[in-house]
């Protein structure tokens, strides 16, 4: 039996309705195959006390709710009031207590009434992004077993080998457009969190809904649980994932292969975003699938696009034409999936601008990892980092393994960019050395997440490197008061500025694969949003609510 109801989502704004449903102004009724409490327990259809009496009759709800009908707007105001009073009541308490309390109240709403959840999320994205996304999402992942109440998304484990093709049909939605997939092996800068990493696909997909208007009924967060090498989790009796070491080699790849085949059999046009895979699998899976499936790796490719937009903005901030990008010296600290992704894309752009002279482009870029400057002298060099290794004769005065301080002191780079996952790598000494940069407006990007893993804080960057810098960080920091009415602007250099657009653009264009050219265009488009005035004020990216 099915019944008609005004869809809960008819409470969304007109423009959103158009985006979600492509309908005209009058909300279309939606067909519900449920009745009574089943509707109240389905967050997609549930309107809480908002069901009008006629609908309560039609849907078998009469008597199951308190008699008074509370409008969507009233419910919205009530939620925001309780959120604001929570903020007031937790003032002065530790960050983890406050932000987890905020996450809980939002998550409960998400579980109960999706329409209201996405409405408040979209309207208040600037306030809520740090809760559903970095940094709080990191804390949520770390505490996932304790916070777990209801599952969200799908879980495919090593135990499901051979079953995935049928399992994928257990997902209730007919159509899925956007999937974010993780194996939990490198969650932000927090390392291997196993099954607890599911918080990341959930948060990323919320950003897809809020920022790109993707229909929330057509998103799917996925955890591929192939075990964990995190000893603490393996010993935790409440850990919810497989208690076994991670699969490796062909065994691992056969699980990912099976998942990709299953997804694309059921939803051939679905886009899969790979997220927070440890480096070796991030690169391997990207090469393995990018020509066969519509997929991309956000950490390698999304991050690179946002960084490139930031680098182009930095050139403009110095009052130089974009063509001057070819003269910028760039030091990247962190040679993992994100750092190498950024260097690859920056070199592609530099080389295009310098008449396809890749060598000249590479000469301008320097790469460091946990053992310092990477040179050709490095023993057991990672093949992915090898193309960026410096010949010692080209870095006179520096040695293999030189520290960030030595490198900055010697090279006086225009840009210092951190994707190391280690908090405090840009210490006082390194930041002070940036004062001697060859640039009139040196750029410091402390892009590692969450906040405690940032290479430096915004306050330290402006304090030690001087007020004239351009600053970006992966997780949000408050703008810095520089005195005399001056403000040091903090840019959130985070791939969230690109991935929702990459997914939406791919979906709308019907592209079968995601090419480097598409990503390059996305980065240049992001850079072009900013006016000269904004750029002069050190603002490289639009405000999140734009
Ligand atoms: N802002 C953003 O949009 C993004 C930020 N990230 C962040 O970047 C960080 C790294 O991510 P991945 O590259 O995927 O990790 P990864 O584990 O693949 O690479 C980390 C790299 O940092 C190096 N490293 C470790 N300790 C170091 C130290 N003390 N000094 C210098 N280098 C050091 C390692 O040798 C390795 O090369 C994470 O914190 C992640 O949250 C990643 C993607 C996007
Ligand atoms: C932002 C992001 O994707 C990361 O930190 O891994
Ligand atoms: Mg990531």
Query: What per-residue confidence (pLDDT) applies to 264?
Result: 97
Three-class SS state of 374: coil
**% of the chain surpassing 90 pLDDT:** 90
Ligand 2 atom 4 nearest Cα: 188
Could you report the predicted ipTM of this complex, rounded to two decimals? 0.99
Is the distance from the beta carbon of residue 491 to the nearest atom of ligand 1 less than 6 Å?
no
Query: What per-residue confidence (pLDDT) applies to 366?
Result: 97
Ligand 2 atom 5 nearest Cα: 188
Evaluated on CA atoms 14, 17, 19, 24, the torsion sign reads negative
The answer on whether 276 is annotated among ligand-binding residues is: yes
Three-class SS state of 365: strand
Q: Which residue has the tokens 């229909």?
A: 215
Q: Does residue 8 register a pLDDT over 50?
A: no
Burial label for 90, CB within 10 Å (0-12, 13-18, 19+), is middle
Q: Give, in order, the Cα–Cα distances in Å from 376 to each of 168, 187, 401.
A: 47, 30, 11
Instruction: Give 78-126 pLDDT, tens digit per residue.
Output: 999 999 999 999 999 999 999 999 999 999 999 999 999 999 999 999 9
* Backbone dihedral region for residue 264 (phi beyond 0: left; psi -120 to 50: alpha; all else: beta): alpha
Query: What per-residue confidence (pLDDT) applies to 514?
Result: 98
Is the distance from the beta carbon of residue 316 to the nearest atom of ligand 1 less than 6 Å?
no
Ligand (nearest to CA of 334) = 1
Query: What per-residue confidence (pLDDT) applies to 3?
Result: 47
The answer on whether 299 is annotated among ligand-binding residues is: yes
The answer on whether 438 is annotated among ligand-binding residues is: no
Model confidence band, residue 26 (pLDDT cutoffs 50, 70, 90): confident
Q: Does residue 19 register a pLDDT over 90?
A: no
The answer on whether 275 is annotated among ligand-binding residues is: yes
Query: What per-residue confidence (pLDDT) applies to 251?
Result: 98
Q: Give, in order, the Cα–Cα distances in Å from 492 to each of 37, 224, 303.
A: 43, 29, 12
Instruction: Give 295-319 pLDDT, tens digit per residue.
Output: 999 999 999 999 999 999 999 999 9
Query: What per-residue confidence (pLDDT) applies to 11?
Result: 43
Instruction: Give 423-477 pLDDT, tens digit per residue.
Output: 999 999 999 999 999 999 999 999 999 999 999 999 999 999 999 999 999 999 9
Which atom number of ligand 2 is nearest to the Cα of residue 448? 5
- Of 133, 208, 252, 541, which residue is the catalytic one? 133
Model confidence band, residue 17 (pLDDT cutoffs 50, 70, 90): very low
Burial label for 417, CB within 10 Å (0-12, 13-18, 19+), is buried
Q: Does residue 31 register a pLDDT over 60?
A: yes
What distance in angstroms lies between residue 133's CA and the mean position of ligand 2's atoms? Answer: 9
Query: What per-residue confidence (pLDDT) applies to 363?
Result: 87
Around ion ligand 3, residues with a beta carbon closer than 5 Å are 275-276, 299
Query: Does the annotation count 204 as an active-site position?
Result: yes
What are the respective helix, strand and coil percentages of the chain, to the nearest 5?
A: 50, 10, 40
Ligand 2 atom 6 nearest Cα: 188
Q: Residues 542, 494: contact at Cβ < 8 Å?
A: no
Query: What per-residue confidence (pLDDT) applies to 115?
Result: 96
Is the distance from the beta carbon of residue 421 to the nearest atom of ligand 1 less than 6 Å?
yes
Which of 182, 184, 297, 334 has the most ligand 1 atoms within 8 A of CB, as the residue to mutate?
A: 334
Ligand 2 atom 3 nearest Cα: 299
Query: What per-residue confidence (pLDDT) applies to 29?
Result: 81
Query: What per-residue confidence (pLDDT) applies to 355?
Result: 82
Pocket lining for ligand 2, CB < 6 angstroms: 134, 188, 276, 298-299, 449, 474, 494-495
Between CA 46 and CA 31 the distance in angstroms is: 13
Query: What per-residue confidence (pLDDT) applies to 21?
Result: 47
Which atom number of ligand 2 is nearest to the Cα of residue 447? 5
Q: Does residue 23 register a pLDDT over 70?
A: no
Query: Does the annotation count 280 as an active-site position?
Result: no
Is the distance from the beta carbon of residue 447 to the nearest atom of ligand 1 less than 6 Å?
yes
Which of 278, 495, 496, 499 has the most ligand 2 atoms within 8 A of CB, as the residue to mutate?
A: 495
Between CA 133 and CA 203 the distance in angstroms is: 5
Model confidence band, residue 25 (pLDDT cutoffs 50, 70, 90): low
The answer on whether 186 is annotated among ligand-binding residues is: yes
Which atom number of ligand 2 is nearest to the Cα of residue 302? 3
Instruction: Give 530-540 pLDDT, tens digit per residue.
Output: 999 999 999 99
Which atom number of ligand 1 is nearest to the Cα of residue 453? 39
Reference 127, options 79, 94, 93, 92; nearest CA is 79
The answer on whether 495 is annotated among ligand-binding residues is: no
Q: What is the mean pLDDT of residues 483-487?
A: 95
Ligand (nearest to CA of 341) = 1
How many CB atoms are located within 10 Å of the residue 27 CB?
17
Instruction: Give 407-433 pLDDT, tens digit per residue.
Output: 999 999 999 999 999 999 999 999 999
Q: Does residue 328 register a pLDDT over 80?
A: yes
Reference 200, options 276, 273, 122; nearest CA is 276
- Of 47, 204, 390, 409, which residue is the catalytic one? 204
What is the average pLDDT value for the chain, to the nearest integer? 94
Instruction: Give 240-289 pLDDT, tens digit per residue.
Output: 999 999 999 999 999 999 999 999 999 999 999 999 999 999 999 999 99
Structure tokens at 183: 């194996």
Ligand (nearest to CA of 137) = 2
Which atom number of ligand 1 is nearest to the Cα of residue 338? 13
Q: Residues 142, 196: contact at Cβ < 8 Å?
A: yes
Instruction: Give 184-220 pLDDT, tens digit per residue.
Output: 999 999 999 999 999 999 999 999 999 999 999 999 9
Between CA 498 and CA 540 the distance in angstroms is: 14
């Amino acid at each position: 039996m099915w019944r008609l109801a005004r869809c809960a989502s008819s409470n969304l704004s007109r423009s959103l309705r158009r985006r979600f449903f492509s309908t005209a102004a009058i909300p279309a009724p939606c067909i519900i195959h449920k009745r009574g409490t089943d509707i109240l327990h389905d967050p997609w259809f549930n309107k809480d006390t908002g069901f009008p009496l006629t609908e309560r009759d039609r849907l078998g709800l009469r008597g199951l709710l308190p008699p008074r009908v509370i409008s969507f707007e009233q419910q919205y105001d009530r939620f925001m009031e309780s959120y604001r009073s929570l903020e007031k009541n937790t003032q002065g308490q530790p960050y983890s207590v406050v932000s987890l309390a905020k996450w809980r109240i939002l998550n409960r709403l998400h579980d109960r009434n999706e329409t209201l959840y996405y409405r408040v999320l979209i309207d208040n994205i600037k306030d809520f992004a740090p809760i559903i996304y970095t940094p709080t999402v990191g804390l949520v992942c770390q505490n996932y077993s304790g916070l777990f109440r209801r599952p969200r998304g799908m879980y495919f484990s090593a135990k499901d080998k051979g079953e995935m093709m049928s399992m994928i049909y257990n997902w209730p939605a007919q159509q899925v457009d956007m999937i974010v997939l993780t194996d939990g092996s490198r969650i932000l800068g927090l390392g291997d969190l196993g099954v607890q990493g599911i918080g990341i696909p959930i948060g990323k997909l919320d950003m897809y809904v809020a920022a790109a208007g993707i229909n929330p009924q057509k998103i799917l967060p996925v955890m591929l649980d192939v075990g964990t090498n995190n000893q603490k989790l393996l010993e935790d009796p409440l850990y919810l994932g497989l208690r076994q070491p991670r699969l490796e080699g062909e065994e691992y790849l056969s699980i990912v292969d099976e998942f990709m085949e299953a997804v694309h059999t059921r939803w051939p046009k679905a886009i899969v975003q790979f997220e927070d895979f440890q480096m070796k699998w991030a690169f391997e899976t990207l090469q393995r699938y990018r020509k066969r499936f519509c997929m991309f790796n956000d950490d390698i490719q999304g991050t690179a696009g946002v960084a490139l937009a930031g680098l182009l903005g930095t050139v403009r901030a110095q009052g130089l034409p974009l063509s001057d990008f070819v003269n910028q010296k760039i030091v990247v600290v962190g040679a993992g999936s994100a750092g190498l992704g950024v260097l690859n894309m920056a070199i592609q752009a530099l080389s295009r601008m310098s008449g396809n002279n890749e060598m000249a482009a590479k000469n301008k870029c320097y790469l460091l990892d946990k053992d310092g400057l990477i040179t050709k002298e490095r023993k057991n060099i990672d093949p992915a980092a090898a193309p960026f290794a410096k010949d010692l004769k080209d870095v006179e005065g520096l040695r293999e393994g030189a520290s960030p301080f030595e490198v900055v002191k010697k090279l006086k780079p225009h840009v210092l960019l951190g994707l190391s996952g280690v908090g405090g790598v840009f210490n006082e000494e390194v930041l002070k050395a940036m004062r001697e940069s060859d640039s009139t407006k040196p750029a410091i990007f402390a892009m590692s997440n969450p906040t405690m893993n940032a290479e430096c804080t915004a306050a330290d960057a402006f304090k030690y490197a001087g007020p004239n810098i351009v600053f970006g960080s992966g997780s949000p920091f408050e703008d810095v008061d520089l005195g005399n009415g001056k403000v040091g602007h903090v840019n959130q250099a985070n791939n969230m500025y690109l991935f929702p657009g990459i997914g939406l653009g791919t979906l709308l264009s019907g592209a079968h694969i995601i090419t480097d050219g598409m990503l390059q265009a996305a980065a240049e488009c992001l850079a072009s949003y900013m006016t000269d005035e904004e750029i002069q004020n050190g603002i490289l990216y639009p405000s999140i609510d734009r």
